[in-house]
Protein backbone atom coordinates (compact mmCIF):
# COMPACT_ATOMS: atom_id res chain seq x y z
CA UNK A 1 0.00 0.00 0.00
CA UNK A 2 2.84 2.39 0.80
CA UNK A 3 4.49 1.66 -2.56
CA UNK A 4 1.19 2.31 -4.33
CA UNK A 5 0.80 5.62 -2.52
CA UNK A 6 4.37 6.60 -3.42
CA UNK A 7 3.82 5.82 -7.09
CA UNK A 8 0.29 7.03 -7.62
CA UNK A 9 -0.43 9.36 -4.71
CA UNK A 10 -0.65 13.13 -4.97
CA UNK A 11 2.65 15.05 -4.99
CA UNK A 12 1.09 18.50 -4.67
CA UNK A 13 0.25 21.14 -7.24
CA UNK A 14 2.97 22.99 -9.14
CA UNK A 15 3.08 26.80 -8.85
CA UNK A 16 1.50 28.62 -11.78
CA UNK A 17 4.84 30.10 -12.94
CA UNK A 18 6.16 26.56 -13.43
CA UNK A 19 3.22 25.74 -15.69
CA UNK A 20 3.63 28.87 -17.80
CA UNK A 21 7.44 28.82 -18.01
CA UNK A 22 7.58 25.14 -19.02
CA UNK A 23 4.95 25.85 -21.69
CA UNK A 24 7.11 28.67 -23.05
CA UNK A 25 10.24 26.51 -23.01
CA UNK A 26 8.46 23.69 -24.85
CA UNK A 27 7.27 26.17 -27.47
CA UNK A 28 10.82 27.43 -28.00
CA UNK A 29 12.18 23.89 -28.27
CA UNK A 30 9.64 23.05 -30.97
CA UNK A 31 9.94 26.37 -32.80
CA UNK A 32 13.75 26.62 -33.00
CA UNK A 33 14.86 24.25 -35.74
CA UNK A 34 18.28 23.46 -34.31
CA UNK A 35 16.88 22.44 -30.94
CA UNK A 36 13.87 20.73 -32.51
CA UNK A 37 16.16 18.58 -34.65
CA UNK A 38 17.52 16.96 -31.48
CA UNK A 39 14.35 16.95 -29.40
CA UNK A 40 12.32 15.44 -32.25
CA UNK A 41 13.88 12.06 -31.42
CA UNK A 42 11.55 11.90 -28.42
CA UNK A 43 8.53 12.53 -30.65
CA UNK A 44 9.72 9.78 -32.98
CA UNK A 45 10.02 7.32 -30.08
CA UNK A 46 6.43 8.05 -29.05
CA UNK A 47 5.23 8.01 -32.68
CA UNK A 48 6.63 4.54 -33.27
CA UNK A 49 5.46 3.34 -29.85
CA UNK A 50 1.95 4.41 -30.87
CA UNK A 51 2.13 2.29 -34.02
CA UNK A 52 3.49 -0.65 -32.03
CA UNK A 53 0.94 -0.50 -29.20
CA UNK A 54 -2.06 -0.23 -31.50
CA UNK A 55 -0.71 -3.00 -33.72
CA UNK A 56 -0.54 -5.34 -30.74
CA UNK A 57 -4.00 -4.27 -29.51
CA UNK A 58 -5.62 -5.04 -32.88
CA UNK A 59 -3.95 -8.43 -33.11
CA UNK A 60 -1.06 -7.74 -35.46
CA UNK A 61 2.34 -9.26 -34.75
CA UNK A 62 5.06 -6.77 -33.93
CA UNK A 63 8.37 -7.50 -35.66
CA UNK A 64 10.42 -4.53 -34.48
CA UNK A 65 11.04 -0.79 -34.38
CA UNK A 66 13.80 1.17 -36.09
CA UNK A 67 14.74 4.72 -35.13
CA UNK A 68 17.05 6.69 -37.43
CA UNK A 69 19.42 9.60 -36.93
CA UNK A 70 17.37 11.80 -39.29
CA UNK A 71 14.55 11.43 -36.68
CA UNK A 72 12.50 9.18 -38.94
CA UNK A 73 11.34 5.80 -37.75
CA UNK A 74 9.73 2.56 -38.88
CA UNK A 75 7.56 0.04 -37.07
CA UNK A 76 7.37 -3.37 -38.70
CA UNK A 77 4.29 -5.53 -38.11
CA UNK A 78 2.89 -8.68 -39.65
CA UNK A 79 -0.72 -9.38 -40.50
CA UNK A 80 -3.28 -8.56 -43.15
CA UNK A 81 -2.17 -5.53 -45.20
CA UNK A 82 -5.72 -4.18 -45.15
CA UNK A 83 -8.73 -3.90 -42.89
CA UNK A 84 -9.58 -1.90 -39.73
CA UNK A 85 -6.56 -3.19 -37.79
CA UNK A 86 -4.12 -1.92 -40.39
CA UNK A 87 -5.96 1.41 -40.62
CA UNK A 88 -5.82 1.90 -36.84
CA UNK A 89 -2.13 0.99 -36.78
CA UNK A 90 -1.31 3.51 -39.51
CA UNK A 91 -3.36 6.25 -37.83
CA UNK A 92 -1.74 5.85 -34.43
CA UNK A 93 1.71 7.33 -35.08
CA UNK A 94 0.97 11.01 -35.66
CA UNK A 95 -1.67 11.02 -32.93
CA UNK A 96 0.39 9.27 -30.27
CA UNK A 97 2.51 12.21 -28.97
CA UNK A 98 -0.44 14.56 -28.57
CA UNK A 99 -2.71 11.92 -27.02
CA UNK A 100 0.05 10.86 -24.62
CA UNK A 101 0.58 14.53 -23.78
CA UNK A 102 -3.16 14.82 -23.10
CA UNK A 103 -2.95 11.86 -20.73
CA UNK A 104 0.08 13.38 -19.04
CA UNK A 105 -1.80 16.66 -18.64
CA UNK A 106 -4.49 14.77 -16.80
CA UNK A 107 -1.88 13.21 -14.52
CA UNK A 108 -0.04 16.43 -13.68
CA UNK A 109 -3.35 18.22 -13.28
CA UNK A 110 -4.25 15.57 -10.71
CA UNK A 111 -0.80 16.05 -9.09
CA UNK A 112 0.37 12.53 -10.07
CA UNK A 113 3.91 13.37 -11.15
CA UNK A 114 5.42 10.05 -10.06
CA UNK A 115 2.79 8.14 -12.02
CA UNK A 116 3.79 10.14 -15.11
CA UNK A 117 7.43 9.17 -14.61
CA UNK A 118 6.41 5.52 -14.28
CA UNK A 119 4.49 5.69 -17.57
CA UNK A 120 7.56 7.21 -19.24
CA UNK A 121 9.73 4.39 -17.92
CA UNK A 122 7.32 1.68 -19.11
CA UNK A 123 7.10 3.31 -22.54
CA UNK A 124 10.88 3.48 -22.93
CA UNK A 125 11.38 -0.10 -21.74
CA UNK A 126 8.76 -1.34 -24.17
CA UNK A 127 10.37 0.48 -27.10
CA UNK A 128 13.86 -0.63 -26.05
CA UNK A 129 12.75 -4.27 -26.11
CA UNK A 130 11.57 -3.90 -29.71
CA UNK A 131 14.25 -1.63 -31.22
CA UNK A 132 16.26 -3.38 -33.91
CA UNK A 133 19.03 -0.92 -34.79
CA UNK A 134 21.99 0.67 -32.98
CA UNK A 135 20.89 4.29 -33.26
CA UNK A 136 17.46 3.36 -31.97
CA UNK A 137 18.96 1.70 -28.90
CA UNK A 138 21.21 4.72 -28.33
CA UNK A 139 18.29 7.15 -28.64
CA UNK A 140 16.12 5.24 -26.17
CA UNK A 141 18.99 4.81 -23.69
CA UNK A 142 19.77 8.54 -23.73
CA UNK A 143 16.11 9.32 -23.10
CA UNK A 144 16.08 6.74 -20.33
CA UNK A 145 19.19 8.24 -18.74
CA UNK A 146 17.49 11.63 -18.56
CA UNK A 147 14.43 10.03 -16.99
CA UNK A 148 16.51 8.14 -14.43
CA UNK A 149 18.43 11.28 -13.54
CA UNK A 150 15.23 13.23 -12.95
CA UNK A 151 13.58 10.40 -11.04
CA UNK A 152 16.42 9.52 -8.69
CA UNK A 153 18.56 12.62 -8.44
CA UNK A 154 15.96 15.33 -8.87
CA UNK A 155 13.97 16.86 -6.04
CA UNK A 156 10.19 16.82 -6.03
CA UNK A 157 10.27 20.32 -7.52
CA UNK A 158 12.61 19.22 -10.33
CA UNK A 159 10.35 16.26 -11.08
CA UNK A 160 7.33 18.56 -11.28
CA UNK A 161 9.15 20.87 -13.69
CA UNK A 162 10.19 17.92 -15.85
CA UNK A 163 6.65 16.49 -15.82
CA UNK A 164 5.17 19.78 -17.03
CA UNK A 165 7.93 20.27 -19.59
CA UNK A 166 7.53 16.82 -21.18
CA UNK A 167 3.75 17.23 -21.15
CA UNK A 168 3.87 20.57 -22.97
CA UNK A 169 6.57 19.28 -25.32
CA UNK A 170 4.46 16.29 -26.38
CA UNK A 171 1.41 18.49 -26.89
CA UNK A 172 3.18 21.17 -28.91
CA UNK A 173 5.66 18.79 -30.52
CA UNK A 174 2.86 16.57 -31.75
CA UNK A 175 1.62 19.37 -34.00
CA UNK A 176 4.80 20.33 -35.86
CA UNK A 177 5.34 16.93 -37.57
CA UNK A 178 1.85 17.19 -39.06
CA UNK A 179 2.79 20.52 -40.61
CA UNK A 180 6.02 19.00 -41.88
CA UNK A 181 4.06 16.11 -43.37
CA UNK A 182 1.68 18.51 -45.14
CA UNK A 183 4.61 20.42 -46.61
CA UNK A 184 6.36 17.25 -47.81
CA UNK A 185 3.18 15.98 -49.42
CA UNK A 186 2.74 19.26 -51.30
CA UNK A 187 6.18 18.72 -52.81
CA UNK A 188 5.59 15.02 -53.50
CA UNK A 189 8.21 13.95 -50.96
CA UNK A 190 6.12 11.61 -48.78
CA UNK A 191 4.26 9.15 -51.03
CA UNK A 192 4.39 6.40 -48.39
CA UNK A 193 3.47 8.49 -45.34
CA UNK A 194 1.00 7.28 -42.72
CA UNK A 195 -1.66 9.58 -44.20
CA UNK A 196 -1.15 8.11 -47.67
CA UNK A 197 -1.24 4.57 -46.31
CA UNK A 198 -4.59 5.28 -44.66
CA UNK A 199 -5.77 6.96 -47.86
CA UNK A 200 -4.99 3.86 -49.90
CA UNK A 201 -6.62 1.60 -47.31
CA UNK A 202 -9.81 3.64 -47.09
CA UNK A 203 -10.12 5.14 -50.56
CA UNK A 204 -10.09 8.68 -49.20
CA UNK A 205 -7.68 11.55 -50.00
CA UNK A 206 -4.43 11.75 -48.08
CA UNK A 207 -4.88 15.45 -47.33
CA UNK A 208 -8.05 14.58 -45.41
CA UNK A 209 -6.06 12.45 -42.97
CA UNK A 210 -3.38 15.10 -42.59
CA UNK A 211 -6.21 17.43 -41.59
CA UNK A 212 -7.55 14.85 -39.14
CA UNK A 213 -4.12 14.55 -37.52
CA UNK A 214 -3.86 18.31 -37.23
CA UNK A 215 -7.36 18.86 -35.81
CA UNK A 216 -7.02 16.11 -33.20
CA UNK A 217 -3.56 17.26 -32.10
CA UNK A 218 -4.57 20.91 -31.87
CA UNK A 219 -7.69 19.87 -29.98
CA UNK A 220 -5.56 17.88 -27.53
CA UNK A 221 -3.37 20.93 -26.93
CA UNK A 222 -6.35 23.21 -26.32
CA UNK A 223 -8.03 20.73 -23.97
CA UNK A 224 -4.84 20.05 -22.02
CA UNK A 225 -4.04 23.74 -21.75
CA UNK A 226 -7.47 24.26 -20.22
CA UNK A 227 -6.72 21.59 -17.63
CA UNK A 228 -3.23 22.84 -16.81
CA UNK A 229 -3.66 26.59 -16.89
CA UNK A 230 -7.27 26.64 -15.75
CA 145 to each of CA 30, 209, 226: distance values in angstroms, whole numbers, following the listed order? 21, 35, 31
Whole-model pTM? 0.93
What is the distance between the alpha carbons of residues 74 and 48, in angstroms, rounded to a whole number?
Answer: 7
**Angle between helix 33-57 and helix 176-186 axes, rounded to 10 deg:** 90
Which residues touch 63 (CB under 8 Å, ≥6 apart)? 76, 77, 78
From first to last of its 230 residues, the chain has per-residue pLDDT tens of 434 444 455 556 678 889 999 999 999 999 999 999 999 999 999 999 999 999 999 999 999 999 999 999 999 999 998 999 999 999 999 999 999 999 999 999 998 999 999 999 999 999 999 999 999 999 999 999 999 999 888 888 999 999 999 999 999 999 999 999 999 999 888 888 999 999 999 999 999 999 999 999 999 999 999 999 87
> What is the DSSP annotation of 8-20?
HS---PPPHHHHH
What are the boundaries of each domain within the chain? Answer: 2-176+212-229
How many alpha carbons lie under 13 Å from residue 98 in its C-beta half-sphere?
Answer: 25
Give the SS3 label for residue 205. Answer: coil
Amino acid sequence: MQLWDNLFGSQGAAPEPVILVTAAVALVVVAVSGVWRLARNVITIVHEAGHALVAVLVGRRLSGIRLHSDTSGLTLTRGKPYGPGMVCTALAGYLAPSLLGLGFARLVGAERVTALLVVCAVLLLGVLAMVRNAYGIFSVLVSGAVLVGVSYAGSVHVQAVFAHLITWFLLVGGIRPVGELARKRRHGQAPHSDADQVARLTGTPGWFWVGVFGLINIGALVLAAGWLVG
